[in-house]
């Protein structure tokens, strides 16, 4: 193996740049050239390839986003388009690929391996932390710290005005962000996709606090209620309480990565290069406790990763 490629795909996540840097540095030490695919799967289809070296990857550890850019690529659902992408990989002499992203990224990577024998290793880059096979994903720690800072500031206003505030955080299919920041910020209620949201219990929590006291409710965007706005409307229509709603949105994706995310990104980047050189393919490199994990890509989305039950219990106990 003489030349590998790396790309970032799907939603950006803080730490992706540290990840790209680690891949380039590790490959260089192993005598392998690194090519960056710019723009995710779209860049692969359109032949947007560039050489990565020490200069190109210098001074990017503390930068959010991804220097390789990213995109959604619905065209990649088409088998002919995937075949065209493979032709680009072969044209540029790519012997192996590191795909950093979430489950959508891994679906595409799996198909490249199955249909065309492309040697490809996935690494978990998503703030949602919803991939089976790793304790944490690149970007998650930064996202929860960003959300916690915002929620602490909202609590100041809630306390000053004696108002009810609903704060919506990201997590379309998983409540990891919501549950962690809910416990960390002392939320009076946490609504997540993994549990049914009970508006009556929510109302009782608010009344217990006192209608003239501050109350902060954290809502994961994937909650079955439809999100913070819809849940607030249900509360107002049933009980006459009109919460203020803040949707944190994409602010959770940006900003300099935390130390924890930089270290995780670096470790998984180095391990992904070595996995390719050892002949592994169609696997995700993750971390469980202190150990590296190598999980089949299919398992990362077929096996559900649950929010720990102790966190759900703790969010109720500490109200």
> Annotated catalytic sites, by residue?
128
DSSP state, 138? Answer: B
Look up tokens 């759900």; give the residue: 312
In the three-class reduction of DSSP (H, G, I as helix; E, B as strand; rest coil), residue 69 is classed as: coil
CB atoms within 10 A of CB 109: 27
- Please tell me what DSSP assigns to residue 221: T
| Distance in angstroms (rounded) separating the CA atoms of residues 92 and 111 | 20
Query: Which value, to the nearest 10 degrees, does the dihedral of the CA atoms of residues 111, 114, 117, 122 take?
Result: 50
Residue 241's φ and ψ, nearest 5 degrees, are -95, 125
**CB-based contacts of 255: which residues, under 8 Å, 6+ apart?**
14, 64, 142, 146
Are the beta carbons of 168 and 219 closer than 8 angstroms?
A: yes
Nearest Cα to Cα of residue 282 among 154, 156, 19, 106: 106
């Amino acid at each position: 193996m003489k030349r590998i490629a790396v790309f970032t795909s799907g939603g950006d996540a803080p730490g992706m740049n540290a990840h790209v840097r680690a891949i380039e540095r590790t490959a260089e030490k192993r005598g392998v050239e690194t090519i960056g695919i710019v723009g995710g799967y779209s860049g692969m289809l359109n032949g947007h390839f560039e050489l990565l070296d020490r200069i190109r990857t210098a001074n990017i550890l503390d930068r959010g986003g991804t220097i390789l850019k990213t995109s959604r690529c619905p065209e990649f659902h088409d088998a002919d388009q995937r075949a065209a992408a493979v032709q680009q990989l072969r044209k540029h002499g790519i012997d192996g690929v590191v795909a950093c992203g979430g489950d959508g990224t891994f679906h595409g990577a799996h198909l490249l391996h199955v249909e065309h024998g492309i040697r490809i290793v996935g690494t978990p880059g998503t703030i949602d932390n919803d991939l089976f096979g790793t304790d944490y994903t690149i970007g998650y720690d930064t996202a929860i710290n960003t959300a916690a800072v915002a929620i602490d500031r909202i609590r100041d206003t809630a306390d000053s005005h004696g108002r009810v505030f609903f704060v919506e955080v990201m997590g379309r299919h998983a409540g990891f962000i919501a549950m962690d920041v809910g416990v960390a910020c002392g939320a009076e209620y946490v609504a997540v996709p993994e549990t049914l949201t009970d508006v009556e219990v929510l109302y009782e929590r608010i009344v217990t606090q006192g209608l003239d006291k501050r109350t902060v409710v954290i809502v994961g965007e994937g909650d079955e209620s439809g999100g913070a706005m819809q849940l607030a409307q249900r509360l107002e229509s049933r009980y006459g309480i009109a919460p203020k709603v803040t949707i944190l949105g994409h602010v959770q994706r940006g900003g300099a990565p935390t130390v924890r995310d930089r270290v995780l990104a670096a470790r998984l980047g180095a391990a992904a290069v070595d996995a390719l050189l050892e002949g592994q393919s169609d696997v995700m490199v993750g971390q469980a406790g202190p150990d590296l994990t190598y999980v089949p890509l299919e398992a990362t989305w077929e096996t559900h990763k649950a929010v720990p039950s102790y966190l759900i219990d703790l969010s109720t106990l500490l109200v």
